[in-house]
Chains A and B, each alone.
Chain A
Amino acid sequence: MAPLLAMSGIKKHFGGVPALRSASLEVAPGEVHALIGQNGAGKSTLIKILTGLYRRDEGDIQFAGQPSFLSSPGEAQSAGIATIYQELNLVPLRSVSENVVMGQEPRSFGFMINWPEAHKRTRDILSRFGIEIDVTAPLGSYSTAIQQLVAIARAVSMDAKLVIMDEPTSSLDSSEVEILFGVVRELKSSGVSVLYVSHFLDELFQICDRVTIMRDGQTVGCREIADTSKLDLIAAMLGRDADEIAAEGLTELAGGKKAYDEIVLDVDKVATGPRLTDFSMTLHRGEIVGLGGLLGSGRTEAARSIFGLDHTTTGSMHLNGKAFKPSEPSEAIRARIGFLTEDRKAEGIVPHMSVRENLTLALLPSLRKNGQIDLEREKKLVSEFIQKLGIKTSHMDQPIRELSGGNQQKVLLARWLATRPDILILDEPTRGVDVGAKREIQAIIRNFVDEGHAVILISSEFEELVEGANRIVVMHEGKAVSELTNPGITENALVKALAHHEDAAT
């Protein structure tokens, strides 16, 4: 059978940096096709090219037998390609029906929207998925899972031939995942193809037919899911030999793991809201504690509560034995805590400002001398850190936006190291940086801990947690549910721990 979608030789550069070197992808009609790869492998760039958000530099795309040159999401939609993004692209303030039918609403007299018909159409599609809800209510009043299914319902109502799902299960609980799988199978049986992007490899074996693997902007393989194994896929994604992975480590985080006794932070049954309901952990001097869990499990919220960004409603925290209840980040900073955010662009860098100004932003109050900033000291400090962390910048007054992602991340890390913290909270410290910088950053973290400080590490890359953390606190639905201790943690054990609580939830 001719493929529904055939992409080949796709190349894309962003300002000289190649994001895709040579990517290809083939999806057959009525097939559920998985697309996997590490962060930064080029999956999302490939999808954005397919849906017309980016323009390719080179390469060929055939869709439904036609060469395709889409230049906007609207065109992709009318060509029959619908995308369900991780960050939902729906309008929460508007009703469920509107979100499903907008753009192709049923009309009477040629211009009036036929609301009864629109509601009926929406209800019909949703009930095919086994969902009965009030479709006139604002979309935002429903759970993320429902919103996601509404997005799929929209794709179905648009008569999509190909539905792209980007990490669709990342914020769903296991019963919701089952509903989603049901919907995927329903799509498949009605001849719609699904391109399924996910980090959770186990899922692929449940619903996918074939899998395409990407690494470093290239397509490195396409396999029948029945002929492959999980270890196989991981090895292909990492570009390693499967046996090698078992033998040696993957990160620079691994290091001395001895027993510690001095508790620096003790969090007891803290809640800040619906997303963090019961979080406890202890942190010892010289220790890395990982927070494990899926997206939306409350990992980031836990970090935010310690840093004073979300106010605790119940529970208590003790820092070095003293009660601690920060209400502002500045309080946490004064108590010698640093927080490296996961969203470098939105919450990390100040793009207009120089490397110097970005680096000392958290340090400003202590740089004050005679009512003004002590520029001498600032410059000395900054050049020290640039040297120590190997930050590649032409000059400390270069705007930070001109640096590569890895170097920006190092500046942000330096921002916190400069405050001489006792505790660093690192939320996805190596996300979106290249392999070299990743290892350097990991080495910096290891060094920081070995100096007798403590780190709380959040990472979606399991090998970082498995190798780096002394202990991993496993989180699920806003609760700390169990704890794993090194040595003895393996990726499998972590996956099992996560999966166990997934099952337990139902």
Chain B
Amino acid sequence: MTSLTSEGPMRTDITTRLKHHGGLVALAIILLFNIVVTPNFLQAQTLAVNISQVATIAIVAMGMTLVIATGGIDLSVGAVMALSGALAPLIFLSDFGTAYPALGLIAALLFPLVAALVCGLFNGVIVAVLRVQPIIATLILFISGRGIAQVLTNGNLQTFSNPEFSYLGTGKILGFPFQGWLAIAIACLLFWLVNRTVFGRYLLAIGGNERAAKLAGGPVRSVKIGAYVICSVLSGLAGLIVVAINSASDAARNGNLMELDAIAAAVVGGALLQGGKAPIFGAILGAVIIQLVKYTLLANGVEDEVALIAKAAIILAAVYIQQARKE
């Protein structure tokens, strides 16, 4: 029921404020905690490490935000990262790649993204055309995608030294990591897409009320497929960045559990699981919070495994608060 009671204005004022700034409050608390507790937190080195890590989460989380905005979910993002990350070194380490380094480099950047695009098409078609629930549809690639990556590399770690390619993960512009710029550029592009284009308007309408969007002439299928494709391509890009950072591709670990980070970042950033909202910059904020929690635990000697549990708790808490707010 819509509440139009007399106490309305006061209450909505406070709740909307909290709603809009809850993430920022959490961020401030974590930052303060770190400044006080974590040694060397306020150093350029720390900042650079965190930005280079957060960029991949943010890029995937922005794609996830679009998918969640349609009322869907994409569990396959981590697997797509692994796949695209495995393909790139295969290409520039191949005979062709070593013979024509420039062409090899372009192919190594393009081909994995095309493969990711195909993955997105696959997900999108199963969801939008076959009308299978998104969890099940994307579960297929969640497992198989990584399997394919491992089959391609025979499960081997591929190490390489290719400075041009590694620029993607280690380069700096004005002292700020390249992938940080990339993430910001993508955010601006997606923000425009969501808020100013017909595609974006339909995307939100579909998540808000799919039947209404269809009745108003909305191209429901293609918009949904589009969201999954964008999410996959961004995941593929993130996979390339991770490989570039490490100068090595490990299909078993690249993007492992990324779907959880991305969902958590999107939800913390204000995406509604029922769909209808796509806060792009919220996703970045969410990614920063997730990364900082990880870093805080790590820097203060908490084991990786415990950090997993903490992350699980954050996801549940964020969704719980969201549900509670709705009711």
Contacts and interface: CB of A to CB of B under 8 A. Distances in A.
A346 interface: yes
Interface in A332-358: 332-334, 339, 341, 346-353, 357
A341 B5 CA distance: 29
A368 B216 contact: no
Contact of B201 (A334, A348, A357, A402): A357
A339 B212 CA distance: 11
A269 interface: no
Interface stretch (B146-154, B192-200, B298-306): B192-200
Contacts of B201: 357, 361, 364, 373
A357 B4 contact: no
Contacts of A339: 215
A74 interface: no
Contacts of A372: 192, 196-198
Interface string B289-305: 00000000000000000
Contact of A329 (B196, B197, B216): B216
Contacts of B85: none
Given A15-B3, A347-B212, A373-B196, A353 B205 contact: yes
A15 B198 contact: no
Contacts of A17: 4
Given A364-B201, A373-B201, A350 B213 contact: yes
B208 A402 contact: no
A346 B211 CA distance: 7
Contact of B208 (A329, A341, A353): A353
A13 B211 CA distance: 29
A365 interface: yes
A364 B202 CA distance: 9
Contacts of A318: none
A361 B213 contact: yes
Contact of A402 (B4, B205, B214, B217): B4
Contacts of A352: 204, 208, 272, 276-277
B155 interface: no
A329 B198 contact: no
A15 B272 CA distance: 24
Nearest to A401: B2
A375 B197 CA distance: 10
B218 interface: yes
Interface string B180-212: 000000000000100011100110110011011
Contact of B209 (A333, A351, A371): A351
Nearest to B277: A352
B20 to A, nearest CB: 15
A349 B209 CA distance: 7
Interface in B1-33: 1-5
A357 B2 contact: no
Contact of A15 (B1, B213, B214, B218): B1
Nearest to A332: B217
B2 A402 contact: yes
Contacts of B212: 341, 346-350, 361
A310 to B, nearest CB: 12
B82 to A, nearest CB: 34
Given A361-B205, A373-B201, A347 B211 contact: yes
Given A351-B209, A353-B205, A15 B4 contact: yes
A368 B214 CA distance: 18
A362 B276 contact: no
B192 A351 contact: no
Contacts of A332: 217
Contacts of B211: 346-347
A365 B272 CA distance: 26
Interface residues of B, number: 27
A330 interface: yes
Nearest to B200: A373
A113 to B, nearest CB: 31
A306 B161 CA distance: 63
- Which of under 10, 10 to 19, 20 to 34, or 35 or more describes the interface residues of A? 35 or more
Nearest to A308: B217
A324 to B, nearest CB: 16
Given A329-B215, A352-B276, A352-B277, A15 B5 contact: yes
Contacts of B219: 330
Contacts of B192: 372
Given A15-B1, A350-B208, A402-B2, A373 B217 contact: no
A401 B276 CA distance: 14
Nearest to A345: B209
A309 interface: yes
Contact of B276 (A16, A350, A364, A371): A350
Contacts of A365: 198, 217
A371 B201 CA distance: 13
Nearest to B197: A372
Contacts of A371: 197
Interface string A40-61: 0000000000000000000000
A330 B2 contact: no
Contacts of A353: 204-205, 208, 276
A351 B192 CA distance: 22
A111 interface: no
A60 B218 CA distance: 49
A345 B208 CA distance: 11
Interface in A151-199: none
Contacts of A401: 2
A192 B197 CA distance: 61
A368 B198 contact: yes
Contacts of B213: 350, 361
A109 interface: no
A311 B136 CA distance: 29
Contact of B218 (A361, A368, A402): A361
A56 to B, nearest CB: 15
B209 A350 contact: yes
A133 to B, nearest CB: 31
A357 B205 CA distance: 9
Contacts of A119: none
A331 B205 CA distance: 19
B4 A16 contact: yes
A210 interface: no
Most buried by B among A14, A339, A350, A365: A350
B218 to A, nearest CB: 7
A162 B205 CA distance: 44
A11 interface: no
B1 A14 contact: yes
Given A347-B212, A368-B198, A16 B217 contact: no
15 contacts: A16-B4, A16-B5, A329-B215, A333-B216, A346-B211, A347-B211, A348-B212, A348-B215, A357-B205, A361-B205, A361-B212, A364-B201, A367-B198, A373-B196, A375-B196
Interface of B: 1-5, 192, 196-198, 201-202, 204-205, 208-209, 211-219, 272, 276-277
4 A-B pairs with the lowest CB-CB distances in the bound complex, closest first? A350-B208, A330-B217, A361-B216, A362-B216
Given A333-B217, A361-B218, 16 more contacts: A17-B4, A328-B217, A329-B217, A330-B218, A346-B211, A347-B211, A350-B204, A350-B205, A352-B204, A352-B208, A361-B201, A362-B217, A364-B198, A364-B201, A373-B201, A375-B196
